[in-house]
Amino acid sequence: MKNNKDQIQSEWLKKADLLTETLPFMKRYANKVIVVKFGGNAMGKKEYITSFANDIVLLQQVGMLPVVVHGGGPQIGEMLSKLKIKTEFINGLRVTDSATIDVVEMVLSGVTNKSIVTAISNSGAKSVGISGKDGNLITAKRLTKIDENSDSNLEKVIDLGYVGEPEKIDPQVIKALINEKMIPVIAPVGMGNDGLTYNINADTAAGAISAAMKASRMIMLTDVTGVLDKNGNLIPELTIDEALELIAKKVVVGGMIPKVKTCIDAVQGGAEASVIMDGRMPHSLLLELFTEHGVGTIIRKNPN
């Protein structure tokens, strides 16, 4: 009986020590904005959403100001398939016509957004779901892409339809929600000056919002551990110049390039730092923010 009691007491002491170790980090991020991009296949699994919501609520409870920006590519694709609306991709980007943008907005601002809001509410915090159209949060412009595979001597502009990128961020609606102790959950849909609705990449939206909010951290949850070196090892920390050099040397390639560039843009725009990390790891957010070295790759400004 005594050994069992000693074991229980030892477990309690370990938990107490852990809490003590996290205190400096809680102080560091107290009243600081933490923008978290949540998306991908993890959003299709209830247990991932529940775990994510618990961590987001904990961040708020210890004094941080979390803001969630979510994607929904797999969910959009599933709905388009159900409605028998054909989808075309050019260079990995979904061409969004008038029928598709209606589905995109319905999925992102509807069931996807509200599933995250519900999970956060069930975890004990007040949350409000909005899109970039609400309160003129995101003013978008049509995204222009150049076809790099064109054999023409002239650059060929790719028409992606209602695909946009942030032109202006007005964060007043986010600040208003935060001031009321609510957690904003934002769908990356924006309104253009032309009155049209545009689908915006969630990473890009999160980066632009992080810059406008002068966020302490912009955390991009992905399905990789972070930025890897040429040997496949995780790089814990990069400056902007070091990140750009990895792109130039083609160490960073493919889909990681726009993620790294988004992180760089966020930091150059006013965020303190950006992080790329594996969102599939249980409690990865807590490990990143409450431990000395984190679990992903953090990108900071160049030293003066």
pLDDT score, position 154: 45
Distances (CA, A) of 82 to 87, 103, 138, 196, 268: 12, 11, 29, 25, 41
Residue carrying the six token digits 């400004």: 301
Q: Is residue 276 situated within a structural domain? A: no
What are the pLDDT digits (tens) for 287-299? 889 887 778 999 9
Report d(CA 255, CA 92) in Å as an integer.
9
Q: Does 187 fall in a domain?
A: yes
The reported pLDDT for the residue numbered 224 is 86
Q: How confident is the model at residue 276 (pLDDT cuts 50, 70, 90)?
A: very high
93 assigned to some structural domain: yes
Residue 257, domain member (yes or no): no
* pLDDT attached to residue 282: 83
Q: What is the pLDDT of residue 159?
A: 78
Total count of residues recorded for the chain: 304
What residues make up the domain containing 182?
71-201
- Provide mean pLDDT across the span 65-87: 91
Residue 94 lies inside a defined structural domain of this protein: yes
In this prediction, residue 105 carries a pLDDT of 94
Average pLDDT, the chain: 88
User: Which of the four pLDDT bands, split at 50, 70 and 90, describes residue 153?
Assistant: very low
- The answer to whether 298 touches 277, Cβ cutoff 8 Å, is no
Regarding pTM above 0.95, the answer is no
Q: Which of 97, 88, 85, 105 is nearest to 200 (CA)?
A: 105
pLDDT digits (tens, 9 = 90+) for 23-71: 777 788 899 999 999 986 666 678 888 999 999 999 999 999 999 999 9
User: Which residues, 6+ apart, have CB-to-CB distance to 176 below 8 Å?
Assistant: 135
- Asked if pLDDT for residue 82 goes beyond 70, the answer is yes
Q: Is residue 12 part of a domain?
A: no
CA 57 – CA 158 distance, rounded (Å): 41
Predicted pLDDT at 255: 86
Residue 125, pLDDT score: 96
Calpha distance 190→261 (Å, rounded)? 21
Angle, to 10 degrees, between the axis of helix 73-82 and the axis of helix 98-106? 120
Q: For the chain, what is the total number of helices (H) and then of strands (E)?
A: 10, 16
Antiparallel, parallel or unpaired: β 33-38 and 65-70: parallel
**Is 156 or 168 the better-scoring residue by pLDDT?**
168
Q: How many domains does the chain have?
A: 1
Give the pLDDT of residue 90: 75
Q: Which of 107, 116, 35, 109 is nearest to 73 (CA)?
A: 107
CA distance 48 to 32: 25
> How are beta strands 189-192 and 197-200 bridged, if at all?
antiparallel
Confidence at residue 2, expressed as pLDDT on a 0 to 100 scale: 53
**pLDDT for the residue 205:** 97
Rounded-to-integer distance, Cα 179 and Cα 90, Å: 42
Specify the CATH number for the domain of residue 81. 3.40.1160.10
Percent of the chain at pLDDT > 90 equals: 63
The whole-number pLDDT of residue 146 equals 64
Identify the residue with better confidence: 216 or 72: 216
Measured CA to CA, the distance from residue 298 to residue 304 in angstroms comes to: 18
**Residue 97 falls within a domain, yes or no?**
yes
The answer to whether residue 82 is domain-embedded is yes
Say if residue 92's pLDDT is above 80: no
Distance CA 227, CA 289 (A): 18
- 35 vs 97 pLDDT, higher one: 35
Write the secondary structure of 248-278 as one string of H (helix), E (strand) and C (coil): HCCCCCCCHHHHHHHHHHHHHHCCCEEEEEE
